[in-house]
Structure 1
């Protein structure tokens, strides 16, 4: 009886079967270029020592250098915290920012300008020209002065220290200065300043020759602080004034005895200095790109000019020329100065209007903050005072310790000095000259400008049109400002080539909502300034790029708050929203506090700030209030943020959130916000179990915006997998057949197919499951392909198709399969070989696998009635599969032990049965497998005392077939 039971169990099938910075290079006419593609504007520095240029960037940066370097670059090597560039001899470097990118232009080397005596035209050579001193440069040749038009604009505002001049030879004439000679410290050569496009540096000789003869030459100084310096030997009592107009610095001296500038030729900083003779005065013009500037001081030998990179290097500003209005007709303003000089009238190079310049004989008084009135401007200066007269009734006169500014014809001279705007002036650099007067004065200024435009010739209107455009923009009238500036393009070809003019037109287009006309704001020709950063941030906010807009507004917040009220009212909501979306709560708090509670358009930003500070109820109340307003864009943003807040705080589940967002999906359409809302709605539908709805929404979105189809693919694949998991088996198969390309070719796609196959097999649709597996396997690659092929082979073997099993295994083999998968595939192949009648080859293959192939080998040996061999093979497998600890066994492990007991019983191995009973009997627990195991491993009958046990065994044997059938069918069993 025991042998029959063991045989029955032995022949049953086994129940327990199985994210750095890229650098781009290029060559352009006149220069080569390196572009460092940073994701956000970095802090960096540039040091040039001859042909060696060191770019310093934040530590921890890794660069991907280009294979082909520009023609003017011999080598580029990462060094420390930056990159060292080796330039071609006499090439020069120029750098600037362009959005998040850092651009380094390598200007072509040019020939040295011919050296000639500029005084030859003034008479016989009675005076020898100053002897040109040899220019020594450690590490390479001296870079030449660039010709007009070299590169794409003026040199950036980085002025490296100049190289020292060697000591004067013994035969050279002595210096005219009575002061002792300065120490000639070794200094590196700076890059040349870009000359003015109108007059090249080499054309300076005629200007000098036109001046009255001068006996003393200008002299370059070697300063201990390595700052480029120039000594102009003006006589004692000569007054001077300094101010910037565009890309030039004007130096005005109230004497006609100008120094000789010939010794400055070829100097990288002062070589472009040009002199113009005025009645009783001298005007010096130096091309110098902002924010570099000149500072001046009076010494015994004359005036000394020093070129500094930034205002910070210039040191603390000098005393401010205080202004005070005096009563009585005509209106007049007093500008206090300790030693005023003369007033020199100059033609303003930017507007063509009269510029009255008041010089100082000593001291450093200046006007650091420019001011605008309807009839005149007080531009900022670094020495002295200047008045840009827009009316014929303006006069500036020197007095005892003061300058007196008077006006006739009812012109107002009261200055509107706002404290916040004054604080922003010295620290924020400008690209435009936006007036800050009250609205009535702005309107009067606009009327005056329009009258001037009407009376000027067509080619002389551009400066006044630009000033009118700035006034209209300050009034918050961007459409009118752009229309005014567009008229200038039709009149004057210089308007389209003026970076400041085109950038101003682009700023007006930005506020007018014409984003397609704003390219000039990012053009490299626009001088880098805080104001340029501000308007580029406004452009990024209009495009929905909060990552760039937020830091830009945060860095230029004082400048924004200094704008006139109409313009500030247009920009504040954009800035507040950008700061809120970028998560800069500190800057947002400062903006809202400065704007005040009465400012319009800031309710949404206040609600976002409340949410950031953890005030959920206040934030929800604010969102609901904005959602009830009339601004469609703000309404859509408020509803979406309220939904997210309620979802995060548990006030709403994913299904409710999806339903709410679906109702307001069309509240705002046509930009990146709509695409973001659709993606979020699809994610909520997936979370709520509506994968098919998420898939349909994303397919509709891909049809609406085909340019974003590639970006939608990840969300489409996620929705497709969710739809496969949620749909019934047949509907899931139809969905797979309709969109097979959406199945991910990774483990997620493999898991989805495996789940769908199991559901089809459960419905006894093996053929359909096999077809699905074959289609998925053909699309997959790597380990996923091997795993799907293994499941297809197992399915073929269960259907009795041994040849199909081997074909599926052969068609899905890959080189990167894990070892466990390789063993499973080998076992499956051996079983298929046995089905094809090649039992010996199958047994040999399984023996080669060791314990991993023990279970399958035991099955094959049992089919050949080799009970002892089958028991030995299964015993090796049990030793590797069962845990050594006395922990309870699971159902599969108990069935494995029951099978081993049946094989030992068929082999007649009583000692093996006893050992198995002792080792695992206590761990079998209760249930049909445990009862069968005890029956097989019990001691044989030895007498009448064992008859009750025999009766129990007979009863168990009678019930065993029905219990086993129930076990095979998966029904629950009880004793």
Structure 2
């Protein structure tokens, strides 16, 4: 007997299992699925959310944020693995509640919730004062008045059977289709944009010309079936477009080209980062230092996620308003480690650029205060001027009046630091008018707060720039009377320098006073500048050893400290003074070689961006005969440069190699450092160097070919040398005559080679006349006595008299001296 199945029991068990499974499913982790797709005019992000979960999509400055009420598992790896032109950098923030992505600043963002799918469209950047073009299919023809189109329903705009093929009507969406769309984010991401644009018809077929123009039938409008939820919005958009067409002229026939069809469409200009807004620095600083800092620390201790980053930003703003650089930098580093959102990263970068402006560190081109054009915010002008002041004073001076007016409302500590930066830049410029405005503001608002001698020091510098040295000395004495602070010591040093300039103190007295103050500077901020001033005094007095010792002391003591940058700047001035003395000294000394051997690394650290000091040192080494060290410096500079600068340094290296007798290496350097975008002067100089190297290498014909078409005396001299070395004596004589005869004081080498060319060409008259005119020009050179030797005796058959014998003995003696001089390599 078969056992009968209990249907009721089975159904009850199934229902019980379903009921028990519901809490487990509710307790599972919330998972979000997503897909990303790119289209011609927009990019679409489709996120499939759990049932009953509300999501919020917000477009911030340069980012998109999607926030849920609770934590979720976001498909970050999947979205970052899909390339998109408008969406990138997906990150999870706020402890898993938010998903952020980087978008173009100012991009149009549209969000729409369709059941469980959140659809976010990121469009192209908006074009100012430009309306989107109307599709061609909506333009009324000559035979279809706008009034008729206005009254015609959208569904009635389809063509009839005799006019055009019937438009395919999309079936109404079913319940199963809607559920499939909600659960399939891939198909949703590849759909059309949220406001569906009406499709345009293909271009009409060109017909053969007829004797009489036949009007074309009206262009039908194809309407794509839309979901019921968007039908009202689309109908209102179409009706609005048709009403706007009433005021437009009737469209031309389809065969007539549109007058603007061939004009290029202006592409939207990408927008940069948003402008820097105003800064309430006084509110950032707070009224009481201790209470404000304690309140900010307490807010930081209990914050999580995005709120914790905001607390760090508030603490960094407090440090900036109070001019606390070290604490501010530490706060910015801590905030950067908390995975901040894009808008928070933007705020942190602005604060970091402000701290770098206070420290005068970094390049101004990397700062947002410089890259973003200043808007209406006066705080932007303040920090832009402070950033540009140390290196580009003319650009910083443009916003100085606005900056000085805004600084009146800044806290005293920060205002004092910024005014000092601007004042030092104005002194270095020098800019008397700007320094006068800055000093007036110091007197107005910070006279009591600048009790460290700063105000008196800058008033002394202002009086010095106004050419009133007595008033400057009085201000320096007032500042030096203060026993503490770096500006008091600076005033002492500047007073000694000014008295030496006025003649009331000689070099020995200046050195004595500076040495007496040397130990008083120990550990002070002014020690680097004071040691540099003492080194300059040693260099002016000719005590190069002592000046070099002080330069090495600056590098050893302060090169690796927080004041290393100031030490290098001070050492740069000291080294320039030493090089000035060496350039005025006689060639052949050992100081240039000692400087390179003992302090070569420090010279490279103290040098500026154009390598001015190292190039001067290389020129001194080459002049004194140390060509190996000179070419080593120039070779290192050439390899570390590029473009036109590399070509210029390569020319200097090639000249040093040619003068040391390495013409082959010079040609290799010129070939390796060439560039196509050089200016005319540098290109001509490199061509002359190439010809000179070819002449030294023995390739005379290639050298003459390289000189073809080059103007100037240098090219003419090389051309004459090439003709001389090629054995073309008459041509060489003519070429050297063009160099010697028109010049009142020609070069000794040109005179000597002119005489040799004339002698070898068999022209004794020219040699005799040249010896009479330019014989004294060769005295003291390696060519001394050459023309006397080459001058032939007077013709005649009479016996030699005493004068002729004396002349020939003198010629023999000159020839002997010439031979001995050439053998010794003089």
TM-score (norm 1): 0.38
Which of the pair is proportionally richer in helix? 2
Which of the pair is proportionally richer in strand? 1
Report which structure shows greater RCO (CA 8 Å, sep ≥6): 1
